[in-house]
Amino acid sequence: MNLKGFSKLAVEHSFKPRNRGALEVFNGHSKITGPCGDTMEFWVQVKAGSLESLSFVTDGCHSSMACGSMTTVLAEGKSVSKALELTQQKVLDAFGEFSEESQHCALLAVNTLKSAIKDYMKNNIESGKNPSESPCASCTDKSCSAAKQRPNESDKDYEDRVKLQARMCRIKHKIVVMSGKGGVGKSTVAVNLATAYKLAGMRVGLLDVDIHGPSIPTMLDLEDARPLGGPAGIIPVDKDGMKVISLGFLLQHKDDAVIWRGPRKMGVIKQFLTDVEWGDLDYLIIDTPPGTGDEQLSLCQLIEDLEGAVIVTTPQRVATADVRKSVNFCKELKLPVIGVIENMSGFVCPKCGEITEVLSTGGGEQICKDMKVNFLGKIPMDPLVVQSCDSGKAFITEHSETPAAECMKEIIQAIGLKYD
């Protein structure tokens, strides 16, 4: 092996590969020959939704050996969904330095691993098992809503509830972003909150349940994206490691109007929660439409352990008055209110950066005092926010040093995330 262009770690994996050789016990297998003529073979043993063990062999050069070895190291012990997120670049990054002319070996290794996992998933689907979830039967939590069938509940409803609970159990925190009125910047807050969690190293999903006005695809530059269908469900659109689902992805034309009544809206929200392969997440941020209608009610009925709601308003009286309705909605449904954000509170001068109060301010803060809920902070109007949304980039990353971004960071800290 020519050592030029290879890190010490890459050389080590090429001469002393990990997990080399066929597994005696396995439930997924694949063998692929790459364009270069090298053949890679992977075996996986999946148990309780995670790769308990895996191995590989290759008839290729030392570069193939190194990439096969590193791929097994990065995937071992990971959940099925997490292992499927492994990319060629992640393998190369793990080495630090890898000769450019041999980097195709990493792609071959990753593709062979994913093919072996899909073989496992196909085998389990054909046998009637759900490969992406740990079976509920193994759960020891007797208080879980899926522990037993409820009186007068049909077998189909019970099966749907168990499937939903199996998905939601793998998501640690679920936060709803709400607003009393439209046009207050609720979706902007949802996108930047989800992005902040992702930047902090969290596993994050962003769900857009604004059925009639889905704006998340535009804000993340995903208007042409489409989710894929996998053996275990719908695979979310990936945005730099963040999993995203929106009805906007499913419309034939982005200008199509969605004219649905309540039951149909609840049906698609249920599908987004039950049939989407969210996998293991630290946070699921849910962007809802304005008001307190079918979508919010459906979420509260379907997700039994919602962390709470973040309510967004603007300073003027006509907007803050509707915050009371949102707070009362949460109290009625026993959904904790994480806090209220007063958006568009003042205007940031694009030349000097000074904040000028254009609209009256303090309305959101006063309502929080009156209704005894947390006031998370104020975000000033900034033309760069609009620019970021239109260009499909999160404001908090593109303009992190601006006054508005600093205010967002303080709010994120108030919600409970340490932001460096």
Decide if domain 160-415 falls under CATH 2.40.170.20. Answer: no
pLDDT value of residue 134: 44
For 25, what's the count of Cα atoms within 13 Å in the CB-facing half-sphere? 5
Instruction: State the pLDDT at residue 137.
Output: 46
Q: Quote the tokens at residue 21.
A: 């050789």
Q: What is the pTM assigned to this prediction?
A: 0.64
Q: What is the dihedral of CA 175, 181, 395, 204, to 10 degrees?
A: 20
Rg of the chain's alpha carbons, rounded to an integer?
24
280 near 170, Cβ under 8 Å? yes
All structural domains of the chain with their residue ranges: 8-126, 160-415
CATH topology identical between 8-126 and 160-415: no
From the list 21, 47, 30, the residue with the least C-alpha distance to 109 is: 30
Looking at per-residue pLDDT, the higher value among 53 and 153 belongs to: 53
Q: Architecture of 8-126 per CATH? A: Alpha-Beta Complex (3.90)
Measure the CA angle with vertex 160, ends 166 and 137; round to 5°: 45
pLDDT of 103 reads 92
Q: Does residue 210 sit in helix, strand or coil?
A: coil
pLDDT tens track for 225-262:
888 877 778 899 999 889 999 988 877 666 565 556 66
Tell me: pLDDT of 110 over 60: yes
Per residue in 314-349, pLDDT tens?
887 766 778 888 999 999 999 999 999 988 876 766
Look at residue 295 in the predicted model and tell me its pLDDT. 86
406 falls in which pLDDT band (50, 70, 90)?
Answer: confident
d(CA 205, CA 276): 11
Q: How many Å apart are CA 358 and CA 418, to the nearest integer?
A: 31
pLDDT on residue 124:
65
Using an 8 Å Cβ cutoff, are 348 and 403 in contact?
yes
What pLDDT does 330 receive?
A: 92
